[in-house]
Structures are given as structure tokens and as C-alpha cells.
Structure 1
Amino acid sequence: MSLVLENIFHERDPVAEQLPLLGSPIPIIALTLAYLAIVLVIGPAFMRNRKPYNLKKVILVYNFLQVIANCWLSYSFIVSFYAHRAEVPDFGCLSKYAHSPTLQKLNINGLYAFYLFKVIDYVETVFFVLRKSFKQVSFLHVYHHIMMSTFVYYLGSYYGGAGQYASVVILNCAVHGFMYTYYFVSALRPNMKMGLWWKKYITRLQLTHFVLVLLHHSYPLIFRPQCDFPKGLLWFAVCQSIIMLWLFGNFYVRTYLRKSNKVSVSDAKDKTVKTE
């Protein structure tokens, strides 16, 4: 397994190995298995004969901190790359920057912060279970959380930095900042939830995010074959973007387009009845 990963990621980074939760795969594997057991088996069984917990205050704090953390990380990447844009020879082929201490530090520390965010995201699903919102514990939700946390672990520990995935960090954190702002407002003012017209735009932003990631990682494969960022990582991003576009696209169609059509048909029937 180790040889396979080294062939894909090219190397195992000595700096990343010294960071907590990155030195060994055991913690992330244990956390992921515990997450699956809690949200799919233990949690539902525990809540079967219990009333949903009132977690409003906890969720408000969690959502607020998520907004701050995600916006800060996205902003940090944007500002750092803009300030040191002269040290980036090609934004279509991002890698490590041995000649730029600032970007090199951002490469590993920024990705490490992103990795911790993805692990902390597991808590969100536990909230769903404790509130008995089991329909929110969907395949899309669970798959997305596990894929992001485990892959970012291997990206950090083997490649040792964000590289081309800096676009993933920037876009993902920006979308999450917007998403958790919605969650915060809807938790703060539950009566406003149905009136928050911009909810569907979160999914549109997520779809746009995956399209941009797909384009950014396809670019070096097509136009920069000499790019030294591992080809396996580029192909992984391309394939994952396509998978997520399909999953989120289906969710958007089911949640917004089909419901909208049903409402239109229902309204038409009501008008017919009234005219009669």
C-alpha cells in the first residue's frame, strides 16, 4: 500500500509527518470508522426511542466558527498568492515553491488547516443524528465528508502541500463560508428559514466550484504536460469533480427543479378548481 501511494504522490513529506494527525494514517482511519459507526449505526439506534436534542446554541457557535475559519483560510490563500504572484511562474501549474518561503509555508500549513477543517466537519453529521434529521445523512453527505478528509490527509502527508489543490482550498472554503452563513442565520431565526431565498444558490455555488476545479486541474493535463505536479493527483481531481457534479446535480434537480414543477402543477389545479 505504501509503495502504491508513493508512486501516486511521488514522495512522503518529512515536514508533514511531524504535524499532529498527519504522521500516521491510523488516526484518520480510526476517526472515519468511528464516524461511520456513529452516524449510520450507533447514533440511530441510540436515538430510536428518544426525542431530538435541542442543540440550537451549540449549532449557532459551530456555524459561526465555521464561517470565520473558512473565510479566513480562503482569504489567506488569495492574499498570499496575490502578494507573491511574481513568484508563481504559472497559475495553471501550481506546485511547491522552494524559492518562496511564504508560499512554501502556506502550501503545507494552509493545507494542514484545511485538513483539520474537514475532520471537524464530521461533527455536523453527528448533529443531524442527535436532532433526528436522518434524511440529511445522505450518501452524498457522508461520501463527501469521508472523501475530503481522507484524501486531504494523503495529499498532505505524501505530497506535503496544496500545490494545484490550492484552488480547491480557496473555492471550497469560500463556498463553505457562504453555506455556514445560511445555516447560522436559519438557526438564529428559524421562522426566517423558508424566507431565505438564497438557499438554492448554495448548491449552484457548489456546482460552479466543481466546474472550476475540473477546469483548473484539466488545464495542465492538456496544455502543460511538463507540469511537475503529480499527474495522478490531477486525474483524481478531474474524476472527483465529475462525480461531485453528478451527485450535486441530481440533488439540485430533485430538491429544486422537480419540487418547483410540482408546485406549478398544484397551483394550476387550484386555479382550475376555483374557476369552476
Structure 2
Amino acid sequence: MSLSLENIFPERDPVAQQLPLLGSPVPIIALTLAYLAIVLVIGPIFMRNRKPYNIKKVILVYNFLQIIGNCWLSYLFIVTFYTRRAEVPDFGCLSKYPNTPTLQKLNIRGLYAFYLFKVIDYVETIFFVLRKSFKQVSFLHIYHHIMMSIFVYYLATYYGSAGQYASVIIMNCAVHGFMYTYYFISALNMNMGLWWKKYITRLQLTHFVLVLLHHSYPLIFRPQCDFPKGLLWFAVCQSLIMLWLFGNFYVRTYLRKHQKAAVFADQNKTVKTY
């Protein structure tokens, strides 16, 4: 992997090298391995003969802070990239801007904050384990968390800028803002707001379609764009993977259940006519 990264990036970003958890890959690898061990092995064994923990207050605080943090970061990147029109020369090819130190400073700090959010997201799965909600500890859930945290680490460490991924951060944080608002409302009242759960998944699917289009554009129409082609292709491939995974989840969770409910209702009507 190191050789592949060296082919994409000539050197590591000097600013990112000085930030905690970014200089060396050891911390993120250790955290990820510990995360996998806890949620897949240690946690289930620990909870085997125990009742689910009542951590409602902790979850409420966690969800509220996630709402504030994600909304703030989405706003920060909108301001950084989409309101500073004089400093951003090309919206179809966002990359580093060495002649605009203020923009670059916001860029790396915002990317670093996004990276920390992705690491903190590991806590959510641990909550699932402590509540013995093992159904939510799915392949999709774990893959998404690990992929995001490790990739953003390499993006920040080696490239030192969000660049074309600014759109990913804006939409990802916006979607998470809605998602954690749903979690917060659900934790307050389990019967409130459940009807719009499926719309969050639709929003996530829309988000991946937009990411796919945004990163396909410079590959097809702007081949001279100096944003690393490997990162563009990675975004395209990951968008397709996430569309497939989330699409399967949506079909399995909402469409098939709706079809089964409709069949069951029809059978009940048939029985009542006799």
C-alpha cells in the first residue's frame, strides 16, 4: 500500500504530519483492530450472560453532539469551498490552492476534524453491543466505518487537503446530521419520527449518486485536472459499492417487508370473505 500511495503522492503533507493521529499509521490501525475485536469478539462474549445496559442518557448526549458537530463541519466546508469564489478557481476540479493560505488552513483543519469524527463514529457500534442490538452490527455498518476512517487518514496524511472530496464531506456530514437527529428523536420517544427512517436511507443513496457524478466529471470532461486520478477512481468505485450495499439494505428492509405485509393483508381479507 505504501508503494501505491507513493506513486499517487510525491510526499506526505508537512502540516498533517504534525497533527495527532495523522503522523503515523500505527494509531489508526491499532484503533481499528481494537474496534473489530471489541464489536465482533470481546463485546459479544462480555454481553452473553448480561442484560442490555441502559445507556439512554449517554446515547442522547452522543447523538446531540454528533448533530452539532456534523452540521458545523458541513457549514465550514460550504463556506470554505463554495462561497470563496475568488479563491476557488475551478469547481469542477477542486485541489490544493497554494496561493491561498487562508483557504488551505481551513481545508486541512476541516479535513482533520472530519477524520476525528470518523474515528469517534466507532463508538456508535460499541453502543449497539452494550445494548445487545447485534442485528445493527452488520457488514455494511462495520465496512462503512472502517473504510471511511482509514481512507480519510491517508487522504489527510498524504494529500493534506479535501480537494474534490469537499463535496463528500459536505454531503456526508449533512446526511449524518439528519441521521443523528433521527436517532436523537427515537431515543427520546421510540414511537416518534419512525415513519421517516426510510427517507434517511434514500438520502444516503442520493448522496452516493451525487458523489459518483461529482468525481466522474473530472475523469470524463476534465482530464487535465491535477487532483490525483487514483483518488477520483477510488471515489467512483466506493460510490458504486455503497450504492449496492445500501440499495440491498433498502430493498431488504423496506420493499420486501412492505410486499410481505401486503400479501399478509390480502390473505386476511381472503379468509374473512369465507
Do they fold alike, i.e. is TM over 0.5?
yes
- Which AA in structure 1 matches 2:104? Q
1:82 paired residue number: 82
- For 1:80 and 1:155, locate their aligned partners in 2 and report how far apart those are by CA, in whole Å: 18
Q: How does 1:1-276 map to 2 (within 5 A)?
A: 1-192=1-192, 196-276=194-274
Is the 1:9–1:233 contact (alpha carbons within 8 Å) kept by the matching residues of 2?
no
Deviation at 1:27, TM superposition (A): 0.2
- For 2:95 and 2:80, locate their aligned partners in 1 and report how far apart those are by CA, in whole Å: 15
What is the RMSD of the two structures over their aligned residues, measured on CA atoms?
Answer: 1.0
- TM-score, structure 1 as length reference: 0.97
Is the 1:9–1:232 contact (alpha carbons within 8 Å) kept by the matching residues of 2?
no
Is the 2:107–2:162 contact (alpha carbons within 8 Å) kept by the matching residues of 1?
yes
Deviations 1:36-88 (A, max 9, x none): 00000000000000000001000000000000000000011112223311221
| Deviation >3 Å, runs of 4+ | none
- For 1:247 and 1:9, locate their aligned partners in 2 and report how far apart those are by CA, in whole Å: 30
Gaps of at least 5 residues in structure 2 are none
Deviations 1:100-146 (A, max 9, x none): 22321122111100000000000000000000000100000000000
- Which AA in structure 2 matches 1:57? K
Is the 2:81–2:166 contact (alpha carbons within 8 Å) kept by the matching residues of 1?
no
Deviation at 1:256, TM superposition (A): 0.3
- For 1:143 and 1:10, locate their aligned partners in 2 and report how far apart those are by CA, in whole Å: 29
* Range 8-17 or range 150-159, more displaced: 8-17
- Which AA in structure 2 matches 1:121? D
- Which AA in structure 2 matches 1:138? S
- For 2:233 and 2:6, locate their aligned partners in 1 and report how far apart those are by CA, in whole Å: 16
Deviation at 1:31, TM superposition (A): 0.0
- For 2:214 and 2:202, locate their aligned partners in 1 and report how far apart those are by CA, in whole Å: 18
In structure 1, the residue corresponding to 2:195 is in which secondary structure?
coil
Gaps of at least 5 residues in structure 1 are none
- For 2:27 and 2:258, locate their aligned partners in 1 and report how far apart those are by CA, in whole Å: 44
Is the 1:9–1:155 contact (alpha carbons within 8 Å) kept by the matching residues of 2?
no
Identity of aligned residues (%): 86
In structure 2, the residue corresponding to 1:145 is in which secondary structure?
helix
